[in-house]
Amino acid sequence: MLQTFKLEADMEVVRGNVIGLNSLWNNRTEDRPFHTLGASAYLDIRRGDTDSYFTGVQACNGALAYCFGSLYQEISKVLTDHLKMEVSFDPSLALPGFHIFFGHEAFVREGGLWHMDMGHIQLGLPDVDPISFTVTVCLPKDGGGLNYKQDDKEHYLAYEVGGMVVHDGCMMHKIASLNSYQEDDERITMQGHGVNINGEYVLFW
């Protein structure tokens, strides 16, 4: 089940900090402008090889914690209230990071790939009550959102700047394609996951 929350953080400040850390971005595709800020299990772990992931953790976690500490605190408070459990971060795992897209015709033709979130499995974490969350920092002028499948039907959820969407990560979902684009479009979201470890939710990416 999807749950939505409105955060108080100033997303213009968050956006500015993401752009300011562009030296730490990882370019993820050759044919379209898709970058990430922070290590990501689903992108950096391949065939059980975790070296790239943990190299990214060491390279990025310090800057992420410094620039987005107050946002992590607010997310932790919202999730603690929602889950009725304590929420924490494991310094050996990647902090929640960012997807960064810029305007390109490819994102009109297609969105993301249908998937379920399995980062905790890739990292060898317990498969206990997983969650995934997305915080919308900025959107293309024509908007953006999430496609997901529920009860054998496809649905669309429009994102709102400053909103946080939480779900269990186990439903099929993907980044929705755009209806149109402009070259100066930006789509920046914070991405994170959590898993119940001994009665406490540990957040990561």
Per-residue model confidence (pLDDT) at position 47: 79
Backbone angles phi, psi at 132, to 5 degrees: -135, 150
pLDDT tens for each residue of 80-105: 999 999 999 999 999 999 999 998 88
Residues recorded for the chain: 205
pTM: 0.96
CATH class of this structure's domain 3-204? mainly beta
Q: Which amino acid is at 30?
A: E
Domain layout of the chain by residue ranges: 3-204
SS3 76: helix
pLDDT tens for each residue of 137-174: 999 999 999 999 999 999 999 999 999 999 999 999 99
Per-residue model confidence (pLDDT) at position 155: 97
Structure tokens at 135: 């915080």
